């Protein structure tokens, strides 16, 4: 067996080097980190950190990737492995060590000794098995579906209270990274595992081993965390050991941006997540600072739905829309230097992210020609028609992305230049999810899904596009694009670094060759902080990690 204690390094995307002087002066340390911070003297204990979020909290299952929920959950539940957000190295967390068989199908783990959940129960191999079996197999009796990240899971064998083996049916080059992922492998107590889907969706039932525990709040508008007094399982390489510094964390849902900025300026809130680009400079003007974190995984993109009956089922139309999208204009008009311009399906800094910039060139003349070839001819009203039907699409603002509406408005303007009418709808989060599930509202069809999946490994492409996983293109599972399935699956079974990078690039090229994805920007999280906050950091996909965070008095 080959022993693995580290993973090959990758670079996390930090703030873009071309940031303006004012933006730079407003920034503290950029890039994912977990260090004591700059200035402020020695770390101090106690105090309440108030954290404002623009997205409502809902559905507290461990697999929920909602930005607001994952900021909280990351500090309650832990994983076997920690992925260093700066280097990509995989290091022990709940596990003390691990080894991988030569055929990459068996993973043997040893747990750290004497780790307990906040209810006093012990972390054992059986608890790990019960968590992972739910991810890998689902549980019909409890209405829990299979986790899309758990591909080819064959089961977990308990060897002793602190040793176990995870077995896969097929090799998976990204599996170790999955075991570090916040929404794929968080381990909670048996009391949570035994809950039905409805029970697992309540924050009140979360019992973890992390540095903080649930201590109050309705789980919709507010969540209060307090330190875990028995915490012993900090990740390898943490800036300190022992108890977390903060005495309390108060997470609040505050949708109005002016309220969030005002609270940051007055000191009522110490951290505000996902500032809009227009307010980034405001934070610097009153002495606050910005910290930006590139989100490894997929770029923020429009996944084009290819269901029969939709206009987007036409490849020429899909290619035309991609050519009509000017990503530089989007970046310069409504974003900021903190946001990267996409070079491919994966955010810069994600392992094996291919540079496919040539396939993303803005070319409105090419777009017009493709639409003409597809039978869509221009009309005096400025839009194109075919058999009396206007070339019209509906799109809904994705409420979990702070910049979604502004980005879509620029896109609307760009597509209008080639004769495409894009109507933008804005609804609540619950309404958005219902409309997406229904495929639209009557005549208004859900032809596009603005999305991105966060995980610092190229296997995220399989999770999103494989028709047996998330099926992000809403393909007919009985008649899928078999080549796309083959390409996204193939990269996951290659362990030679050079060959895997080639396979990832081939998958990305095919996505653009078929017009399946229209990248918009590299997903980035920008936090506003007061000068009292020190040691703030995130894990590898920009979810807040507050173990090393402290407040100066």
Taking only the tens of pLDDT, the chain with its 553 residues reads 333 333 323 323 233 233 333 333 334 333 444 433 444 689 999 999 999 999 999 999 999 999 999 999 999 999 999 999 988 999 999 999 999 999 999 999 999 999 999 999 999 999 999 999 999 999 999 999 999 999 899 999 999 999 999 999 999 999 999 999 999 999 999 999 999 999 999 999 999 999 999 999 999 999 999 999 999 999 999 999 999 999 999 999 999 999 999 999 999 999 999 888 988 989 989 999 999 999 999 999 999 999 999 999 999 999 999 999 999 999 999 999 999 999 999 999 999 999 999 999 999 999 999 999 999 999 999 999 999 999 999 999 999 898 999 999 999 999 999 999 999 999 998 899 999 999 999 889 999 989 999 999 999 999 999 999 899 999 999 999 999 999 999 999 999 999 999 999 999 999 999 999 999 999 999 999 999 999 999 999 999 999 999 999 8
Q: Where in the chain is the domain with CATH 3.10.105.10?
A: 300-522
Measured CA angle at 410 (ends 281, 71), to 5 deg:
55
> If 0-12 CB within 10 Å is exposed, 13-18 middle and 19+ buried, where does residue 169 land?
exposed
Containing 472, the helix (H) or strand (E) segment is: none
For position 42, what pLDDT does the model report?
94
Phi/psi of residue 284, nearest 5 degrees: -65, -30
Residue 367, token pair as written in the block:
């777009």
Between CA 268 and CA 248 the distance in angstroms is 14
Partners of 386 in the β-ladder: 389
CATH superfamily for 2-295+525-551 is Periplasmic binding protein-like II (3.40.190.10)
For position 26, what pLDDT does the model report?
37
Does the domain spanning 300-522 belong to CATH 3.90.1150.10?
no
Nearest CA to 301 out of 249, 346, 363, 250 is that of: 346
CA separation, residue 137 to residues 41, 107, 326, 441, 484 (Å): 49, 18, 42, 33, 25
For position 40, what pLDDT does the model report?
62
For position 281, what pLDDT does the model report?
86
Q: Where in the chain is the domain with CATH 3.40.190.10?
A: 2-295+525-551
Between CA 163 and CA 157 the distance in angstroms is 9
Q: What pTM was computed for the model? A: 0.88
CA separation, residue 10 to residues 85, 86, 99, 350 (Å): 9, 7, 21, 7
Residue 333, token pair as written in the block:
């008009």
């Amino acid at each position: 067996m080959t022993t693995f204690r580290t993973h090959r390094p990758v670079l996390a995307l930090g703030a873009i080097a071309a940031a303006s002087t004012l933006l730079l002066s407003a920034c503290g340390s950029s890039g994912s980190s977990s260090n004591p911070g700059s200035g402020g003297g020695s770390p101090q204990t106690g105090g309440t950190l108030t954290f404002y979020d623009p997205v409502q909290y809902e559905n507290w299952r461990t697999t929920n990737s909602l930005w607001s929920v994952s900021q909280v959950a990351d500090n309650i539940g832990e994983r076997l492995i920690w992925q260093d957000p700066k280097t990509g190295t995989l290091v022990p967390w709940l596990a003390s060590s691990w080894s991988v068989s030569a055929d990459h199908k068996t993973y043997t783990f040893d747990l750290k000794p004497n780790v307990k959940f906040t209810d006093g129960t012990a972390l054992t191999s059986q608890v790990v098995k019960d968590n992972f079996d739910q991810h890998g197999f689902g549980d019909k009796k409890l209405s829990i579906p299979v986790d899309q990240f758990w591909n080819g899971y064959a089961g977990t064998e308990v060897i002793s209270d602190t040793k176990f083996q995870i077995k896969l049916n097929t090799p998976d080059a990204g599996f170790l990274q999955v075991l570090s992922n916040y929404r794929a492998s968080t381990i909670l107590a048996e009391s949570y595992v035994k809950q039905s889907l409805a029970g697992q969706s309540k924050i009140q039932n979360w019992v973890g081993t992390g540095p903080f525990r649930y201590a109050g709040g309705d789980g919709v508008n507010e969540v209060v965390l307090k330190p875990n007094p028995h915490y012993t399982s900090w990740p390898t390489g943490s800036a300190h050991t022992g108890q977390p510094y903060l005495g309390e964390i108060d997470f609040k849902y505050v949708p109005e941006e002016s309220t969030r900025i005002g609270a940051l300026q007055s000191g009522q809130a110490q951290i505000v997540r996902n500032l809009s680009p227009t307010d980034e400079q405001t934070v610097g003007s009153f002495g606050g600072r910005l910290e930006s974190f590139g989100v490894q995984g997929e770029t923020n993109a429009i996944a084009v739905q290819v269901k029969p009956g939709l206009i987007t089922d036409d490849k020429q139309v899909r290619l035309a829309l991609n050519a009509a999208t000017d990503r530089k204009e989007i970046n310069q008009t409504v974003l900021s230097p903190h946001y990267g311009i996409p070079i491919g399906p994966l955010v810069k800094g994600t392992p094996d992210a291919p540079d496919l910039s040539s396939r993303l060139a803005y070319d409105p003349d090419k777009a017009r020609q493709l639409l003409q070839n597809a039978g869509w001819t221009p009309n005096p009203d400025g839009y194109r028609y075919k058999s009396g039907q206007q070339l019209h699409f509906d799109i809904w603002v994705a409420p979990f992305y702070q910049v979604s509406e502004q980005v879509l408005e620029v896109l609307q303007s760009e597509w209008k230049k080639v004769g495409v009418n894009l109507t933008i709808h804005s609804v609540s989060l619950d309404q958005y999810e219902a409309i997406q599930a229904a495929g639209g509202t009557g005549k208004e069809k859900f032809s596009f899904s603005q999305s991105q999946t966060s995980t610092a490994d190229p296997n995220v492409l399989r999770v999103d596009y494989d028709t047996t996983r998330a099926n992000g293109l809403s393909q007919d599972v009985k008649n899928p694009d078999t080549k796309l399935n083959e390409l996204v699956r193939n990269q996951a079974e290659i362990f030679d670094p050079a060959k895997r990078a080639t396979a990832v690039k081939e998958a990305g090229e095919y996505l653009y060759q078929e017009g399946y994805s229209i990248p918009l920007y590299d997903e980035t999280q920008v936090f506003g902080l007061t000068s009292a906050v020190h040691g703030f950091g995130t894990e590898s996909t920009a979810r807040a990690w507050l173990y090393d965070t402290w407040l100066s008095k």
